[in-house]
């Protein structure tokens, strides 16, 4: 089989029917990664031999009748998930030589489901970025326009799925890092409720915000993947002990009478007019499906970016203190003493954006400024959560754009960190509140994809996925492929 255009659901059906083998489709994806996908820089590590070995094992499982729905389906993992005996770099020079001695919970669950790992995808360094330009391994290119960024930090995963280098990939979302690249690359990306997917083995950026999730072509695929990824993990103190629904079997619900809120703060200044046009058209499609729209207010939306850029750097400052050149990772040459070892190892091992956030976070946590910055940001976080809770008393879901603009050009915002940070204007609040959100392709602006975001109440991923799936049943944006990779 040389066709890599099938969705996860289509691949699962074909494998179950014996139309093709896992080894055949794995070879096809590996060839495409090395061929058509080589210039995108979407992968840091390709695990070809391991993938083929896993594919053959999956085929054996199917022959013996011991297969699940995803057995033999390939995927890629964002290079933030520890993968036993495979380099796990976090897109950083600091971990360029680090080989993980264990598997992350997400990796374990995917392996238990019988999925085949093709490799590890490129990402912004330690997940800090909105464009995939901060990676030590260089920027990822957007398959729709290779002059454009794919979004970040899960840009490698998004580009790989969009270019048909993998049918699905894992990502992580701290302030929009699944949803924003999904929007910019024209795929579907789901950020689950905080605690729904274990963070064990997912190298930490901001522990109270980080959440792993699936990235794929369709909502149906994301439902299948979330079933495999989610579940309680006693090794993660923030993991929620709650049964995992069969999301893929809950995609049949009617949207008649579904109440969806339109936050007025998401449709004002800062939203690109062409993006607004696409979102308006999507609202029209949902109206045809019976959805009832109501204008709502999330009054503290403007506080989300400043609150996030105090809280996230503060947590990053704490989490990244372990990378000191002593136990693992990058170590400078010939240190004079212990202080020189620390300073030069961290100075040489971290990139500019990571250093910036460590400095901001350390300052915000310092004795004289903790109350003025970190505590105040946490109070703002509570106000943002309260806005959502009040909104969900009147509506079932919230709809808006995922990103205020389509993908921008590589290098365009490199010298303007604040403008870069505003790329996540509509996604950050969801992480601060710990809510689930999904981005799905809804059209194009200037030839580049536009994403539609749906936000749900806690553990309401089933309703989110159903609403996204129903939209994808009446539109074809999710079927579009970049011209060079069709």
Beta carbons of 306 and 316 less than 8 angstroms apart: no
Beta carbons of 440 and 180 less than 8 angstroms apart: no
CB atoms within 10 A of CB 68: 17
Write the pLDDT tens digit of every residue in 244-302: 999 999 999 899 999 999 999 999 888 999 999 999 999 999 999 999 999 999 999 99
pLDDT at 414: 81
Asked if residue 188 belongs to a domain, the reply is yes
pLDDT at 1: 57
Distance from C-alpha of 482 to C-alpha of 166, rounded to nearest angstrom:
14
Pair (311, 166) in one structural domain? no
Q: How many domains does the chain have?
A: 2
CB atoms within 10 A of CB 318: 16
Write the pLDDT tens digit of every residue in 178-214: 999 999 999 999 999 999 999 999 999 999 999 999 9
Question: Residue range 26-52: average pLDDT?
Answer: 96
Final residue before a domain boundary, out of 338, 356, 371:
371
Question: Residue range 106-120: average pLDDT?
Answer: 98
Asked if residue 376 belongs to a domain, the reply is no
Pair (168, 32) in one structural domain? yes
Pair (418, 348) in one structural domain? no
pLDDT above 70: percentage of residues in the chain: 100
* Average model confidence (pLDDT) across the chain: 96
Pair (315, 408) in one structural domain? no
Question: Residue range 58-78: average pLDDT?
Answer: 96
Asked if residue 277 belongs to a domain, the reply is no
Domain that holds residue 318: 302-371
Beta carbons of 161 and 217 less than 8 angstroms apart: yes
Q: Which residue has the tokens 């840009």?
A: 155
Beta carbons of 335 and 344 less than 8 angstroms apart: yes
Beta carbons of 203 and 323 less than 8 angstroms apart: no
Beta carbons of 148 and 124 less than 8 angstroms apart: no
Pair (310, 417) in one structural domain? no
Pair (84, 227) in one structural domain? yes
Asked if residue 103 belongs to a domain, the reply is yes
Rounded alpha-carbon distances, angstroms, from residue 54 to 21, 31, 74: 12, 16, 10
Asked if residue 274 belongs to a domain, the reply is no
Pair (366, 407) in one structural domain? no
Asked if residue 265 belongs to a domain, the reply is no
Q: How confident is the model at residue 438 (pLDDT cuts 50, 70, 90)?
A: very high
- Helix/strand/coil (H/E/C) assignment for every residue in 91-143: CCHHHCCCECCCCCHHHHHHHHCCCEEEEEECCCHHHCCCCCCCCCCCCCCEC
pLDDT at 478: 98
Question: Residue range 78-99: average pLDDT?
Answer: 97
Beta carbons of 451 and 160 less than 8 angstroms apart: no
| Residues noted as catalytic | 78, 153, 177
CB atoms within 10 A of CB 111: 16
pLDDT at 34: 95
Question: Residue range 142-149: average pLDDT?
Answer: 97
Pair (196, 83) in one structural domain? yes
Question: Residue range 327-352: average pLDDT?
Answer: 95
Asked if residue 174 belongs to a domain, the reply is yes
Distance from C-alpha of 200 to C-alpha of 432, rounded to nearest angstrom:
20
pTM of the entire structure? 0.96
Distance from C-alpha of 154 to C-alpha of 39, rounded to nearest angstrom:
17
Asked if residue 58 belongs to a domain, the reply is yes
Pair (16, 128) in one structural domain? yes
pLDDT at 2: 64
Pair (87, 184) in one structural domain? yes
From first CA to last CA, the distance across the chain in angstroms is 16
Phi, psi values for residue 66, rounded to 5° = -110, 35
Token pair in block for residue 163:
């270019």
Rounded alpha-carbon distances, angstroms, from residue 466 to 118, 222, 434: 29, 11, 20
Q: What is the CATH number of the domain that holds 92?
A: 3.90.1300.10
Rounded alpha-carbon distances, angstroms, from residue 302 to 173, 378, 425, 434: 20, 15, 8, 17
CB atoms within 10 A of CB 296: 22
Write the pLDDT tens digit of every residue in 375-427: 999 999 999 999 999 999 999 999 999 999 999 999 998 888 878 887 888 99
pLDDT at 354: 97
Pair (52, 167) in one structural domain? yes
Pair (107, 230) in one structural domain? yes
Strand pairing partners for 27? none
pLDDT at residue 130 tops 60: yes
């Amino acid at each position: 089989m040389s066709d890599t255009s099938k969705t996860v659901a289509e691949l699962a059906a074909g494998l179950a029917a014996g139309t093709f083998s896992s080894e055949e489709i794995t070879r096809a994806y590996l060839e495409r990664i090395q061929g058509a996908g080589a210039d995108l820089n979407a992968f840091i590590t390709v695990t070809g031999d391991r993938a083929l070995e896993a594919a053959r094992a999956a085929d054996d499982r199917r022959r013996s009748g011991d297969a699940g729905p995803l057995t033999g389906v390939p995927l890629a993992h964002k290079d933030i998930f520890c993968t036993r005996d495979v380099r796990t770099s976090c897109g950083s020079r600091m971990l360029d030589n680090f080989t993980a001695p264990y598997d992350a919970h997400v990796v374990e669950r995917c392996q238990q489901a019988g999925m085949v790992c093709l490799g590890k995808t490129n990402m912004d360094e330690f997940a800090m970025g909105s464009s995939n330009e901060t990676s030590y391994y260089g920027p990822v290119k957007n398959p729709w326009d290779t002059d454009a960024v794919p979004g970040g930090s899960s840009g490698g995963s998004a580009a790989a799925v969009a270019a048909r280098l993998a049918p699905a990939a894992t990502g992580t979302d701290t302030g929009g890092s699944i949803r924003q690249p999904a929007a910019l690359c024209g795929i579907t990306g789901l950020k689950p409720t905080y605690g729904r997917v274990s963070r064990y083995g997912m190298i930490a950026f901001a522990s109270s915000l980080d959440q792993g999730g699936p990235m794929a072509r369709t909502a149906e695929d994301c439902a299948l993947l979330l079933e495999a990824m989610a579940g309680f993990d006693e090794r993660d103190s923030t993991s929620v002990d709650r049964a995992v629904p069969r999301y893929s079997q809950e995609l049949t619900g009617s949207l008649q009478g579904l109440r969806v809120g339109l936050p007025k703060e998401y449709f004002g200044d800062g939203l690109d007019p062409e993006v607004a046009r696409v979102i308006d058209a999507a609202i029209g499609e949902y109206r045809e499906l019976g959805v009832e729209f109501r204008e709502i207010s999330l009054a503290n939306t403007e506080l989300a970016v400043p609150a996030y850029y105090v809280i996230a750097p503060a947590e990053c400052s704490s989490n990244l203190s372990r990378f000191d050149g002593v136990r693992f990772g990058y170590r400078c040459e010939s240190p004079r003493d212990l202080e020189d070892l620390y300073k030069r190892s961290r100075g040489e091992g971290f990139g500019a954006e990571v250093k910036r956030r460590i400095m901001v976070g350390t300052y915000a946590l310092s004795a004289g400024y903790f109350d003025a910055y970190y505590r105040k940001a946490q109070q703002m976080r509570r106000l943002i959560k309260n806005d959502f809770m009040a909104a969900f008393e009147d509506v079932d879901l919230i709809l808006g754009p995922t990103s205020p603009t389509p993908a921008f050009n590589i290098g365009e915002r490199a010298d303007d960190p604040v403008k870069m940070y505003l790329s996540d204007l509509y996604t950050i609040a969801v992480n601060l509140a710990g809510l689930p959100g999904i981005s799905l392709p809804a059209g194009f602006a200037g030839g580049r994809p536009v994403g539609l975001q749906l936000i749900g109440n806690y553990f309401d991923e089933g309703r989110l996925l159903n609403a996204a799936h129903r939209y994808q049943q009446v539109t074809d944006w999710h079927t579009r492929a970049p011209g060079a990779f069709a």
